Structure 1
Amino acid sequence: MKKLAIFDIDYTITKKETLMELFKYVIKKNKKNLRFLPRAIYCGIMYAIGIYDERKVKETFLRFIDGIKEEELAELVKAFYDERLKNILYDDALEMMKKLKNEGYDIYLISASPEFYVNEFYNIKEVNKVIGTKFGFENGTFVRKMVGNNCKGEEKVRRLKEVLKDEKIEVDFKESYMFSDSLSDKPLLDLVGKPYLINYKKNHDIEILRWK
């Protein structure tokens, strides 16, 4: 049986929220994309007051890359990783991945962030699997339509088990790890025998690690 070391992404292995970093990166590359800033602010307000759920927020927010060709998006997110994403990783997270990989664990990253760019974390040589929220393409063009559910909470557990079943992998969850900055990941934290909260600001029964 395999042992997993599962990591959330945003604020767990990264110092910043990655989707917002992508938005800022696109604006930096082309100032004309500032025209999407009011929409981003509007989405935040609608979510905060409970009118938009996370699906609606993401589908609306991603207007800034709506209609981009699949090949162009691939080039964009590769540059985004090389120029920005890899520079906001916690050193302690990378060290933990290396340590656990050397101890025989498979490294899984599971995030609510869009899979079309979190797949770039396969650049971390220790990573075995990346799972994120899926978005669709039509005729080779990106569309702002979420495929399936937002990969958060119980959905992370469902997606993980789906992947393990499809790949015929048996896991010893009692000996597995889960690292997250948020209790929104409690379903995954409860699944494993070795859960940890990262930089959590309140006291909790789950052990808290301070990563830099």
Structure 2
Amino acid sequence: MKRLAIFDVDYTITKKETLMELYKYTIKEDKRNIRFLPRALFSGGMYILGFYDEKRVKESFLKFLEGFNEKEMQRLTKRFYKNRLSKIIYGDALKMMKKLKSEGYDVYLISASPEFYLQELYAINDVDMVIGTRFDFKDGNFIRSMNGNNCKGEEKVTRLKEVLKEKEIEVDFKESYMFSDSLSDKPLFELVGKPYLINYKKKHQIEILRWK
């Protein structure tokens, strides 16, 4: 049976929220993308007020990528990983991945962030699987329509089990790890025998690790 080391991404292995970093990176490449900032602020405000759910917020926010074809998107996400995303990953997270990989664990990254750019995290040699929120392309062009549910909370467990079933992988969850900065990952914490909170600011019964 496999043993997994599962990691959330935003604020767990990265110092910042990755989707916002992608948006800021596109502004750096093309200053005209600043025009999408009011939409981002409006969508965030509507979410805080309870008018938008996370799916609608993400679909609205991703307007700045609408119309990118798949090849353009691949080139963008590779540049984003090389020039920005790779530079905001905690060194301690990479060390933990390497350590657990050397002990025979498979390293899975599971995040609510979009999978189309998280795929670049396969560049980390120790990563075996990346699971994120899926978005659609139509006729080869990005349409910012979420495919399925936002990969958060219980949906992370659902997506994980779908992947394991598809690949016919049996897992010893009691001997598996889960690392996250947030209690929104409670379903995954409860699934494994070795849960850890990362840089959590309050006291908790789950052991807290401080990563830099």
TM-score computed with the length of structure 1 as normaliser:
1.00
Q: Which runs of 4+ in 1 moved over 6 A?
A: none
Letter in 1 for 2:46: M
Deviation at 1:178, TM superposition (A): 0.1
1:108-159 CA-to-partner distances (Å, cap 9, x unmatched) read 0000000000010000000000000000000100011000000000000000
Determine the structure 2 residue equivalent to 1:43. Answer: 43
Determine the structure 1 residue equivalent to 2:18. Answer: 18
Letter in 2 for 1:113: S
Determine the structure 1 residue equivalent to 2:164. Answer: 164
Q: Distance in 2 between matches of 1:187 and 1:10?
A: 17
Letter in 2 for 1:166: E
Q: Distance in 2 between matches of 1:189 and 1:121?
A: 22
Matched, 1:52 2:52: yes
Q: Distance in 1 between matches of 2:177 and 2:65?
A: 35
Structure 1 segment 1-212 matched on structure 2, within 5 A: 1-212=1-212
1:153-177 CA-to-partner distances (Å, cap 9, x unmatched) read 0000000000000000000000000
SS at match of 1:190: helix
Q: Distance in 2 between matches of 1:209 and 1:50?
A: 32
SS at match of 1:120: helix
Give me the identity figure in percent.
Answer: 71
SS at match of 1:195: strand
1:26-54 CA-to-partner distances (Å, cap 9, x unmatched) read 01111111110100110110111111000
Q: Distance in 2 between matches of 1:34 and 1:146?
A: 23
1:71-113 CA-to-partner distances (Å, cap 9, x unmatched) read 0000000000000000000000000000000000000000000
Q: Distance in 2 between matches of 1:144 and 1:95?
A: 34
Letter in 2 for 1:47: Y
Q: Distance in 2 between matches of 1:197 and 1:74?
A: 32
Deviation at 1:69, TM superposition (A): 0.7
- The size of the alignment, in residue pairs, is 212
Q: Distance in 2 between matches of 1:144 and 1:31?
A: 21
TM-score computed with the length of structure 2 as normaliser:
1.00
Letter in 1 for 2:26: V
Gaps of 5+ in 2: none
SS at match of 1:11: coil
Q: Distance in 2 between matches of 1:161 and 1:177?
A: 15
Letter in 2 for 1:172: D
